[in-house]
Amino acid sequence: MSTNTRLRTYLYACVAAGAISLPATSAFAVCQGPGAPTDTQTKCVTAVTIPGNPLQSFDISWTDPNRAEYYLADRSNKGIDIIDTNTLTFKRTIGGFVGQVFNATGTKINNDVSGPDGVVNHGHWLYAGDGNSTLKVIDLNDLVSPIKASIPTGGTNRVDEMAITTDGTRLIAANNADAPAFATLFKANGDAAANSTSIIARIDVDPTILGGGSIEQPTWVPGIARFVVSVPQIANNPTGCTPDGAGGTPICQGGLLYVDPTITAHTVLGAFNPATNTGVLPLHDCGPNGASTGPHNNVILGCTPQNVATNTTTQVINVKTRNFVEVGNITGSDEVWFNKGDDRYYTGSNRDCANAGTPCPAANQQAAKLGVISAASNLLIEKIPQSSGSHSVAADAKRNLIFVPQVCALAPPDKPGHPANIGCDTTTVGQQLCGGTAGCVAVYKHDVDEDDEAHNGDHQGDDDHG
């Protein structure tokens, strides 16, 4: 039986059994065009439409395979969208967020003050960052008043990306757009019935290392009991570098911030200290945004020319030995995700620049791809076109489903607060995937049995993603 025949048989059986419900809101067929190739191992299954405003702006997404739920930080609809990963249907949006905020001239979305942004969960507790520098604490079991707390971090801009420990009792979140950027360590709820989330400590980076730079996506690494956080650029890496390589100087590369979750007071972290396993580790040839924990203490980093113009690869680093490998022919990732169900990394690569040794060409900055990388070999398997600016990805490890949000296409309704076309797809890829112009969450599946891949069995838990 051919690959396509097996896939069609699988889909027909699932729909007949009620396991997959195809959205009835799409006017046209979904999973069409270059974003749904027939010759890849990762195949488009369906597209889930989000009710409300067109998807002009969204940020990080997350899955909980045990709850069979996918969560998307949807700024266009001022809330967290929830999709059922069993039925592949939209469930609800939890509102109460700032939403997408436009600049003074209404020509661009200002991500620094928009929200929601980062999102993670443990059990029935979901945590999300908002554009007004607050952490929202949400009880997913409460269908009436789910937001239980809104905790200010002391910044002026958004609480962005975050990570949580495996037991759900410690959470770290980055204020990436503040000057200086900083992180906040929280006591989180674990499996408790009632909310008691509170701030433990502010975490700063020595300004002689961070300069005027930012900090990005954290991830929890159980094998070393540390959060590690992407730092897009650091000073003097290499010596004499400048942020943009002006005047022929070397361009500054990024770093990886190691954070001990047992700290109890305001902490300023400097250069990496191997004795305490804390501080900023300089990276080679990588200015990362995304970070996600894979097997054997490996962490995939979303190196991107948006941070360091010469980056043309993705990197996997062992955060215990600090050895690394570069994955060629894919770069420009924001969110990255390790799926222990199929032993693969997935990258939300919004600018796919593969020409080694050259800055990212302007044309490539709209060449968004879903990257698929083997966590066993650290080799690129395939990359699949996405709507322009696509940068968010999450996978359900129990079902081997991969969720990739797509921005709106063409002109959305020109209503107050939603100027037409801003943030929308400059290609037709998303429209063909979604079967409409409002944007959607495209759902891909990797059939492990079909590809007959070996698995090493040494994976982290479902809550280990950043």
Which residues are 35's β-sheet partners? Answer: none
pTM of this structure: 0.90
**Secondary structure class of 47 (helix, strand, coil):** strand
What residue spans define the domains of the chain? Answer: 3-451
Structure tokens at 444: 């891909």
What is the per-residue pLDDT for 218?
98
d(CA 1, CA 422): 45
What is the per-residue pLDDT for 349?
93
List, as own/partner pairs, every contact residues 274-279 make where C-beta atoms lie below 8 angstroms and the sequence separation is at least 24, other chains included.
Answer: 277/224, 277/226, 278/226
CATH 3.40.50.300 fits 3-451, yes or no: no
What is the per-residue pLDDT for 453?
46
pLDDT in tens, 407-455: 998 665 555 555 777 889 988 999 999 999 999 999 999 988 776 544 4
Determine contact, residues 400/341, Cβ cutoff 8 Å.
yes
For residue 409, the Cα-to-chain-centroid distance in whole angstroms is: 21
- Ranges of the chain with pLDDT below 70: 1-27, 354-366, 410-418, 451-466
Where does residue 269 rank: exposed (0-12), middle (13-18), buried (19+ CB within 10 A)? buried
Structure tokens at 242: 């400048």
What is the per-residue pLDDT for 309?
87
